Amino acid sequence: MTTANAFKPLSKEDLADVFGVSIRTIENWVNESILPAPTKLGNRVYWHPNAFYTWLDRRLSPDAGTAEAAQASATEPQPAGAKPKARGQSATAKTELDKVRNRTQAQLDALMA
């Protein structure tokens, strides 16, 4: 009789252990799209280990920064003096949100370094 190699899905607690942060930080990173979205099973959420570690490997690879720069340069440049387009947000709220995202991304980068 053969058994299939089972894997253990990763929970919020597992990811918090990987990064050394709180479960609430993991929830925030998912909400801010810093981490990939989990799959909901019942009342809990899980990540497939292969999908998560593949994402983490790509994120930590040396050329990850160049991919982000290429993605940022692909957006349309704003004309001089143009106001940023915000969907349902004021320009100051969008700026504050960008500051929080940048700070959180810097914290994640520091943890992964």
Of 26, 2, 1, 4, the residue nearest 13 (C-alpha)? 26
Q: Which residues contact 97 (CB under 8 A, 6 or more apart)?
A: 89
Tens digit of each residue's pLDDT (9 = 90 or more) over 38-55 = 999 999 999 999 999 999
- Cα gap 107→29, rounded to integer Å: 11
* Mean pLDDT for the stretch of residues 63-76: 55
Strand, coil or helix: 97: helix
- Cα gap 10→27, rounded to integer Å: 14
Task: Evaluate if pTM is beyond 0.75.
Answer: no
Residue 22: pLDDT band (50, 70, 90) is very high
- Cα gap 12→45, rounded to integer Å: 7
Domains and CATH numbers, the chain: 8-60+88-113 (1.10.1660)
